[in-house]
Amino acid sequence: MTAFLQIDNLSKSFSGLKAVQDVSFTVPKGEIVGLIGPNGAGKTTCFNLIAGVYKPDQGTVTLGGRSIGGWRPDQICLAGVGRTFQIVKPFAGLSVLENVIVGALKASPSVTEARGKAKSVLERLGLWHKRNQQASELTLPERKRLEVARALATEPQILLLDEVMAGLRPTEMDTMVSVFRELNASSGLTILMIEHVMRAVMSLSKKVVVLNYGQVIAAGTPDEVTRDPAVLECYLGEEAL
């Protein structure tokens, strides 16, 4: 498997606080990779560096052989990266359908076509019956799904998911897991996911990268990292053994 997204020695400090230090990992094409670690480990910062919200102090981000470090978020989206926000950012005053149409316009020549794409994405994520509701009226789990729908509508080659399972009921989570699995299997969508819900990480990811204090402390298959003493100590807890 070739690396589709490659992170090399990525570093970012915020006024002296080293949020991300020397982080390197790869996401092979067509795979689902989990990014885990305790709160404040630098996972979301890492995402924001990849998605262009922050410019890295050091290091490179390479997508499909092209260096995208320092690009603007919209350029990175056009390069094929879709993302969700941990703290959801719906277009609150627009309807659910309109939210997704905005995303779908990226890969559609016309609004009519974008509408059609938005429809199929909403159906896939079980939000079609909510299409005419304002996004502000949705519950938090629904807003998380809307985040995913909007990002998917941009037809990304790689999807960055920031804690989309948080707050979901087990059945809702299973639906979400199956959606990602199906997308991955059918269209070869590459996924990098930050997730605290270990059940989702374990069932979806082939590879897991563990961050702590801004550094990668372990990487490997889910089985390997859950047995890694350093990971157990800082994140999963001894009882996970």
Q: How far is the CB of 129 from other proteins (least distance, A)?
A: 11
Q: Which of 11, 24, 102, 215 binds other proteins (CB under 8 A)?
A: 102
Would the CA dihedral through 223, 216, 210, 157 be positive or negative?
negative
> Among 5, 19, 27, 105, which residue sits at the site for other proteins (rule: CB under 8 A)?
105
Query: Considering beta carbons, is residue 89 or 199 the nearer one to other proteins?
Result: 89
Q: Is 43 in the site for other proteins (CB under 8 A)?
A: no
From candidates 18, 115, 196, 227, binder to other proteins by CB under 8 A: 115
Q: How far is the CB of 47 from other proteins (least distance, A)?
A: 11
Q: Does residue 214 touch other proteins according to CB under 8 A? A: no
Among 55, 66, 72, 199, binds other proteins (CB under 8 A): 72
Q: Which of 106, 124, 196, 227 binds other proteins (CB under 8 A)?
A: 106
Give per-residue burial for 72-98: e unless 16+ CB within 10 Å, then b.
eeeebbebbbbbbbbebebbeeebbbb
Instruction: Please name the residues in contact with 170: beta carbons below 8 A apart, sequence gap of 6 or more.
Output: none
Give me the amino acid identity at 129: H
Is residue 150 involved in binding other proteins (CB under 8 A)? Answer: yes
Among 78, 140, 185, 230, binds other proteins (CB under 8 A): 78
Residue reference for tokens 């519950």: 139
Strand ranges for 29-145 from DSSP E = 32-36, 58-63, 66-67, 81-83
Asked if 196 contacts 163 with a C-beta cutoff of 8 angstroms, the reply is yes
Q: Are 121 and 152 in contact (CB under 8 A)?
A: yes
Residues that bind other proteins (CB under 8 A): 51, 53, 72-74, 77-78, 83, 85, 89-95, 97-98, 101-103, 105-106, 110-111, 115-116, 119, 131-132, 150-151, 154
